Amino acid sequence: MDIEFSLALPRDAIGIPMVRRVLGDAMRSLNVSETCIADMLLAVSEACSNAVRHGGPANRYEVTAAIGAGHCDVRVADNGDGVPQMPPHFPPPDTENGRGLLIVQELADRWGWTRDASGRTTVWFELPRTGETPPRNSRTSI
């Protein structure tokens, strides 16, 4: 079974836990391993944080996810006025910002961003759906 969903959220940090919850629950319902789920939730948190921080002047952003056979694809789109910039290296530990895209790059098999003619920026990334766990409802005989 495949799951696809799209969420339109206010450009406020309060929506990020909702995205994590919906995506994590969808992946768990398909018996994706907790390691893969943790990687995906970290990547989506970073991408959403960037949309919240840099997605203005619009006051909404969108998250679209597709979880299918062997993969999980996520797209985070906003109407920010800039193009994502990849820092050349991780910033010092005492710096609060500048790690988001580097983290996504480290976790994802493939990733990138697009900017369409209307000025909409989309950060996208794909992780393999590996290491599926046994269904929670499965019974074992004694």
**Does pLDDT of 135 surpass 70?**
no
**Does pLDDT of 126 surpass 70?**
yes
CA distance 10 to 16: 10
Domain boundaries, given as residue ranges, for the chain: 3-128
Please say whether the structural domain 3-128 has been given the CATH code 3.30.565.10: yes
The strand pairing partners of 67, in sequence order, are: 3, 72
Give the model's pLDDT for residue 141. Answer: 30
**Does pLDDT of 3 surpass 60?**
yes
Give the model's pLDDT for residue 1. Answer: 63
Query: In sequence order, what DSSP letters do the residues of 80-104 get, joined into one string?
Result: -SS-----SSPPPTT--SS-HHHHH
Query: What percent of the chain shows pLDDT beyond 90?
Result: 54
CA distance 85 to 94: 20
The strand pairing partners of 52, in sequence order, are: none
Residue with token string 């999980």: 72
Beta strands in 1-142 (DSSP E): 3-10, 60-68, 71-78, 110-115, 121-128
**Does pLDDT of 2 surpass 60?**
yes
Give the model's pLDDT for residue 74. Answer: 97
For 60-94, write each residue's pLDDT tens digit: 999 999 998 888 999 999 998 766 777 777 777 77
CA distance 41 to 34: 10
CA distance 82 to 24: 29
Bridge pairing between strands 71-78 and 60-68: antiparallel
**Does pLDDT of 132 surpass 60?**
no
pTM: 0.83
**Does pLDDT of 104 surpass 50?**
yes
